[in-house]
């Protein structure tokens, strides 16, 4: 493996949820320990299952991993770190500032930016010399900080009074409030990250266009701030030998090879490794020891391949659409992490509604979503639009800089400009553009792909900026409904949470649901996409993976969702109206 050649002291694994970062980080730590090195494995992933992988409880203290000499592990709980972080910042102003301002500060500190920075606050001590870490030759990190987080840590400490002065309406502003005391430690940590002789960043992706594009964006973002020593690992590549006599398996191989042939230029020059897809769950020492063995396609001896096809009973996407159609109009929002198929599912829902004779407006802000290519034609009653996120975000940034930034000094303006580069900014700008489309939902169905998170919506609500805007526009024209109010009304809006039948995507979807509920929005249904268990397969590898899905399907059906649908992994790409309809259909013969 190239990424294990002459490894430096620090190795960071980063990538989208569900690509296999944790498994690869665990296997790497084990391999280094087997080579005689003393290794500390650290997870800062909110969906961390390092303890589960090793079959033991780890938690927020350095713990020796049983049966693996020279290996220790530590799980930093980002949510607990974020809560302690919020308490430290908000505590002194509670009861001093007006309650409305305190709530605004709390919401500013509730998003992903704060969670990531709080976790970084916890593990920066591991990047500098300390008594705790001096005994370790290597420290392996599962989940690296993003370029946005590192850039924010490099900014001047111009935070005192920034929120209290009412300058924090933009997006994730305030995530670094109160960190002046840690500045010297952060400086040393960022220097360690930027030193190629000390740190190696490993981008983990799957052989899919979406995750490869995400890896390319991460590469560019980190390289721009000096973290240029990067490696690429493409995980879960389907072994061609396993595709014989199975049309679905062969289709997967063909799709993956096509994606790899279009590898983004930023990634093509990186040292690259491929890890084959395994039939077995990557839990336990025997499985982890096999993960990095290039030629190992067979499950460990402890794993017995299933002899029968899995049996699942689950509603189809079409049955969900039947219930959505009862209202005759309304807003349908598809939410979920990248790479789970939101755009395709949004198109399938829109096609199903239009085929029933309802007027439908399908809209997206995903720059990679070519809806017209997905539809591959037109359909009566269906209109399609796309919001350019770059265009609307630039306009929003200019507006905020002209208003909020007009009276700031250079340091304050630098802070504001960095905040406006955060992911939340794009969500807010796009939502403002979406809000014009939302109004149509009173007369027709509006199906929206790539929706804002609950944090972003709450942030808009906390600042009141958007509500005030609507009130100003409506004047004294009588009753009105703001977009936020409409999203909270289940008779007007149905949110579909999209996931895959895999551990990390399901956990991330559950976190998204909690985020939405905090904003007063109750998800209407979950959709489990690309399920092998719902397809017909003959490949032993796919049969085993189908059985592996059953636990996650059970968790969605009985613990997370009020209602749900299961969409099978298809042999043919769901492109074109007929294939999209086929995707939504009731696959009773398979479930």
CB of 104 within 8 A of CB of 164? no
Strand partners, 101: none
> Is the Cα dihedral 512, 514, 515, 517 positive or negative?
positive
Q: 283 phi and psi, to 5 degrees?
A: -130, 130
| Whether 356 contacts 349, CB under 8 Å | no
Alpha helices by DSSP H, listed for 326-422, are: 342-355, 371-375, 389-403, 410-419
115, 272, 144: which is closest to 218 by C-alpha? 144
Strand, helix or coil for residue 496: strand
C-alpha 292, offset from chain centre? 25
The CA distance from 307 to 544, in Å, is 9
Give kind and range of the element (H or E) at residue 528. strand 525-531
Report the C-alpha gap between 426 and 405 in whole angstroms.
18
| DSSP per residue, 37-68 | --EEEEE--TT--HHHHHTS---SS-EEPTTS
Residue carrying the six token digits 């970084």: 120
> Crossing angle of helices 423-438/389-403, nearest 10°?
110
Catalytic residues: 18, 20-23, 45, 504
Query: What are the strands, taking DSSP E only, across 118-223?
Result: 138-142, 199-206
Cross-strand pairs, 528: 499, 566
Cross-strand bridge partners of residue 142:
13, 43
Q: How far is CA 541 from CA 65, 253, 295, 547, in A?
A: 30, 13, 15, 10
Question: Token digits for 440?
Answer: 């149509």
């Amino acid at each position: 493996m190239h990424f294990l050649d002459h490894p430096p002291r620090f190795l960071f694994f980063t990538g989208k949820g569900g690509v296999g970062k944790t498994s690869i980080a665990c296997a790497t730590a084990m391999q280094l320990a087997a080579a005689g090195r003393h290794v500390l494995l650290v997870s800062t992933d909110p969906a961390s299952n390092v303890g589960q992988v090793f079959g033991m409880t780890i938690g927020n203290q350095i713990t020796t991993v049983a049966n693996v000499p020279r290996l220790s592990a530590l799980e930093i709980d980002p949510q607990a770190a974020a809560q302690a972080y919020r308490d430290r910042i908000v505590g002194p102003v509670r009861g001093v500032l007006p309650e409305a301002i305190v709530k605004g500060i709390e919401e500013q500190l509730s998003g992903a930016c704060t969670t990531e920075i709080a976790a970084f606050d916890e593990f920066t001590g591991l990047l500098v010399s300390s008594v705790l870490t001096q005994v370790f030759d290597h420290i392996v990190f599962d989940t690296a900080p993003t370029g946005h987080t590192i850039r924010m840590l490099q900014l001047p400490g111009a935070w005192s009074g920034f929120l209290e002065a009412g300058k924090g309406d933009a997006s994730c502003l305030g995530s670094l409030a109160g960190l002046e005391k840690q500045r010297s430690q952060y400086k040393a940590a960022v220097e360690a990250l930027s030193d190629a002789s000390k740190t190696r960043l490993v981008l983990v992706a799957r052989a899919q266009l979406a995750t490869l594009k995400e890896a390319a964006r991460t590469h560019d973002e980190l390289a721009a701030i000096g973290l240029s020593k990067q490696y690429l690992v493409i995980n879960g590549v389907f072994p061609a030998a396993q595709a014989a006599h199975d049309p679905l398996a062969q289709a997967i191989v063909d799709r993956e090879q096509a994606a790899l042939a279009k590898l983004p230029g930023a990634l093509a020059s990186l040292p690259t490794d491929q890890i084959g897809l395994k039939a077995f769950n990557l839990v336990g020492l025997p499985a982890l020891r096999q993960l990095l063995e290039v030629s190992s396609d067979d499950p460990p001896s402890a794993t017995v391949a299933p002899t029968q096809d899995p049996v699942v009973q689950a509603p189809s996407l079409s049955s969900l659409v039947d219930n959505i159609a009862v209202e005759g109009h309304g807003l349908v929002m598809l939410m979920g992490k990248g790479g789970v198929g939101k755009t395709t599912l949004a198109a399938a829902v829109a096609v199903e509604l239009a085929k029933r004779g309802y007027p439908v407006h399908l809209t997206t802000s995903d720059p990679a979503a070519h809806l017209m290519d997905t539809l591959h034609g037109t359909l009566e009653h269906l209109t399609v639009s796309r919001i350019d996120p770059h265009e609307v975000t630039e306009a929003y940034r200019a507006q905020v800089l002209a208003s909020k930034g007009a009276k700031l000094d250079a340091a304050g303006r630098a802070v504001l400009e960095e905040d406006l580069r955060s992911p939340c900014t794009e969500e807010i700008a796009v939502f403002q553009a979406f809000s014009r489309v939302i109004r149509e939902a009173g007369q027709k169905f509006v199906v929206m792909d790539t929706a804002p998170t609950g944090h972003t919506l709450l942030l808009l609500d906390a600042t009141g900026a958007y509500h005030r805007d609507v009130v100003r526009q409506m004047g004294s024209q009588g009753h009105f409904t703001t977009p936020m109010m409409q999203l909270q009304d289940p008779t007007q809006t149905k949110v579909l949470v999209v996931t895959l039948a895999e551990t990390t995507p399901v956990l991330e979807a559950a976190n998204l649901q909690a985020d939405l509920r905090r904003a007063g929005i109750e998800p209407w249904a979950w959709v489990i996409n690309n399920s092998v268990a719902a397809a017909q397969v003959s490949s032993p590898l796919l049969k085993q993976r189908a059985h592996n899905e059953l636990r996650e399907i059970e968790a969605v059906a009985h613990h997370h969702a009020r209602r749900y649908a299961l969409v099978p992994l298809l042999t043919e790409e769901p492109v074109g109206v007929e294939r999209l309809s086929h995707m939504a259909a009731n696959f009773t013969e398979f479930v």
